[in-house]
Amino acid sequence: MNSFHRPTSFTSFIAPLEDIRAVVGIDFGTTFSGFAYANKISSVIDLHTQWPGKEREKTNTVLLYDNSCREVLKWGEPALTFGQKKNKKSIKELGSPQSPHVIERFKLHLDEKLSIGEKPWLPQNLNYKRAIIDYLKKMKGVIENTLDKRWPDLKLTQVLFVLCVPAEWGPHTKAIMRDCAYEAELLNESIESHLEFTTEPEAAALHCLSSIQEHGLTVGDTFLVVDCGGGTVDLTMRTIQMGNKLNEETERTGDLCGGTFVDQEFINFIGRTVGFNALQRLRTYAYGELQILVISFCDQIKHRFTGDPDEYETAEFDLQDICPSLINYITGAEKTILENSEWVIELDFKTLKKMFDIVINKIISRILKWTYGVEVKANFDICNDPLELRTIDNKIWKFDLLAVRGTNVSVNQKFCKEYKPLNPEQTMAVFKVYITTEYQPKYIKNENGMRLLGTLKITLSKWLSRGRDRPVEFGLTFGTMEIKATAKNKLTNETCHTTFELDIKR
């Protein structure tokens, strides 16, 4: 296959999309990456599985640099396990850390929601963009060789690349990825249009669309797409429409709660068992062995775990076989206990399930899709309130907030406030519940999707002599499938309630 180098000046030739003969879909993931390819005239999609170190659908998103971070020594899974035997010798003879740098999860540096402290460590002389470029270069080599074997006369300028990205990425982040693809020589200025982006939830939904018939789904049916990656998990609700199309019913929601967070819980378990000082020394002096331990956990336990105690047998990790260097660092009571168990660590069902539960509970958490509030009448302030919302009695209808969109709510969690009648002679309180996509609405108005959800009334006819001092507690309780609105007269304890349909993001 003909390759190319980055041009030093702009060329007027622009390769038209009509010249496209093949499409390559690239999944550049936080922990694993891969690609699939297809010819334009064929519906057959081939998934690449021949990766360095192992035959599998994806390879690890990992780079091994030399000490100066100028040269990539290994990439993919071999970058994790490289130097394992060499490290054992260096520990005993030199007692100094290995010089190469293992770089992982560098994609998270593109997540603008993470603070600097939450992003993965990088050496001072390595920029995350450099790591992305170097990794894409390695993938490009594999892509070229694969396509060249399949279609020897195909040129790289005849390939359309489609890159999956997280749904929350904005134009700025996509521009960074385009620049990195350019630097990695997947593109040049003549074919810069040959890179398109699709969101990971959209790609997952389209895959589901190809298999709806085998699940008995038809037009009008709604299904939940759960895209569980290594770093993130994305959830969307889709409804099947006429013409083999999908409609997004809820806003996409996602968070950093992918499979690697289960791995981290396993590492924490090892640290509690052998001592965190021993674990840190293993990480420093024999990182490859630590990764062998994690890979063993993933392949033998994590990927097979169903959550059914009847299907699980307590797993055993023999440190003398899997991670012998770790034994050299274990001291104190931990050493005595493990010596008595012949250096075998047991992982029972309850402990393993807890590792999953910590992550799964974050996945299934319920997030409010709307901001909820009630309509309240207030005196009009000519200096601060919009003139067009002024009523004929010199009042204004305001939005009094109860629960904010994006809030994580537990089942039967209640949001409530206390209200008092506007007039001393008032005999009825009417609570109109409104919802909106706005986070901090101030007024009741037909903007940002604001609409009336429902109304609840409660009598105030008793204790009229107390004037406005007749408090009513109004609240919304978010149940499993419904919202329960409750109004309670604080003087008489009279309670009224109604229910609304619950619309949340899961």
Residues 359 and 230: beta-carbon distance below 8 Å: no
Position 287 pLDDT exceeds 50: yes
Residue 99 contacts by C-beta under 8 Å, 6 or more apart in sequence? 66, 67
Position 440 pLDDT exceeds 90: yes
Residues 183 and 133: beta-carbon distance below 8 Å: yes
In this structure, the answer to whether residues 133 and 33 fall within a common structural domain is yes
How many domains, the chain?
3
Calpha distance 195→184 (Å, rounded): 13
**Helix extents (H) in 23-170:** 77-81, 84-93, 128-150
Calpha distance 429→236 (Å, rounded): 39
Residue 58 contacts by C-beta under 8 Å, 6 or more apart in sequence? 27, 29, 32, 33, 34, 51
In this structure, the answer to whether residues 267 and 357 fall within a common structural domain is yes
Residue 473, domain CATH: 2.60.34.10
Boundary (domain end) residue, out of 178, 200, 222: 200
Calpha distance 45→22 (Å, rounded): 11
In this structure, the answer to whether residues 61 and 141 fall within a common structural domain is yes
Q: Residue 333: enclosing H or E segment and its boundaries?
A: helix 332-340
pLDDT single digits (tens) 355-391: 998 888 777 666 788 899 999 999 999 999 999 999 9
Residue 317 contacts by C-beta under 8 Å, 6 or more apart in sequence? 293, 296, 297, 323, 344, 345, 346, 347
Calpha distance 367→238 (Å, rounded): 17
Question: The tokens of 274 are what?
Answer: 């052998």
Boundary (domain end) residue, out of 153, 174, 200: 200
pLDDT single digits (tens) 235-258: 777 888 888 788 776 556 666 677
Question: The tokens of 37 are what?
Answer: 């390819």
User: What is residue 334's three-state secondary structure?
Assistant: helix
In this structure, the answer to whether residues 392 and 304 fall within a common structural domain is no
User: Which amino acid does the sequence have at 341?
Assistant: S
Q: What value does the mean pLDDT take over residues 80-103?
A: 55
In this structure, the answer to whether residues 426 and 326 fall within a common structural domain is no
Position 60 pLDDT exceeds 50: yes
Calpha distance 479→382 (Å, rounded): 41
pLDDT single digits (tens) 477-488: 987 667 889 999
Give a yes or no: residue 248 inside a domain: no
pLDDT band at 74 (very low <50, low <70, confident <90, very high): very high
In this structure, the answer to whether residues 128 and 70 fall within a common structural domain is yes
Distances (CA, A) of 320 to 93, 153, 328, 342, 345: 20, 52, 11, 9, 11
In this structure, the answer to whether residues 486 and 409 fall within a common structural domain is yes
Q: How large is the angle between the packed helices 84-93 and 287-300, nearest 10 degrees?
A: 140
Q: What phi and psi, each to the nearest 5 degrees, are found at residue 381?
A: -110, 105
Boundary (domain end) residue, out of 200, 224, 247: 200
Distance of CA 219 to the CA centre of its chain: 29
Kindly give the pairing relationship between strand 54-55 and strand 50-51: antiparallel
User: What is residue 131's three-state secondary structure?
Assistant: helix
In this structure, the answer to whether residues 359 and 376 fall within a common structural domain is no
Q: What value does the mean pLDDT take over residues 150-157?
A: 90
Nearest to 107 by CA among 135, 73, 71: 135
In this structure, the answer to whether residues 103 and 154 fall within a common structural domain is yes
Residue 196, domain CATH: 3.30.420
Name the maximum alpha-carbon separation found in the chain. 93
Give a yes or no: residue 222 inside a domain: no
pTM of the model: 0.65
Q: How large is the angle between the packed helices 276-285 and 287-300, nearest 10 degrees?
A: 110
Question: The tokens of 452 are what?
Answer: 């009336």
pLDDT band at 152 (very low <50, low <70, confident <90, very high): very high
Position 353 pLDDT exceeds 50: yes
In this structure, the answer to whether residues 427 and 354 fall within a common structural domain is no
Give a yes or no: residue 337 inside a domain: yes
Nearest to 85 by CA among 336, 289, 244, 264: 289
In this structure, the answer to whether residues 339 and 466 fall within a common structural domain is no
CA angle 52, 57, 63 (to 5 degrees): 40
Distance of CA 357 to the CA centre of its chain: 16
Give a yes or no: residue 315 inside a domain: yes
Percent of the chain with pLDDT over 90: 48
pLDDT band at 88 (very low <50, low <70, confident <90, very high): very low
Give a yes or no: residue 100 inside a domain: yes
Give a yes or no: residue 245 inside a domain: no
Calpha distance 21→17 (Å, rounded): 9
Calpha distance 290→325 (Å, rounded): 9
pLDDT single digits (tens) 109-137: 998 777 888 788 899 999 999 999 999 99
In this structure, the answer to whether residues 70 and 124 fall within a common structural domain is yes
CA angle 366, 370, 374 (to 5 degrees): 120
Calpha distance 501→393 (Å, rounded): 34
Domain with 149 in it:
17-200
Q: Which of 193-207, 225-239, 308-322 has the highest mean pLDDT?
A: 308-322
Give a yes or no: residue 10 inside a domain: no
Neighbours of 302 (CB within 10 A): 17
Give a yes or no: residue 234 inside a domain: no
**Helix extents (H) in 230-317:** 259-274, 276-285, 287-300
Please provide the average confidence, as pLDDT, over all residues in the chain.
Answer: 85
Question: The tokens of 488 are what?
Answer: 């309670």
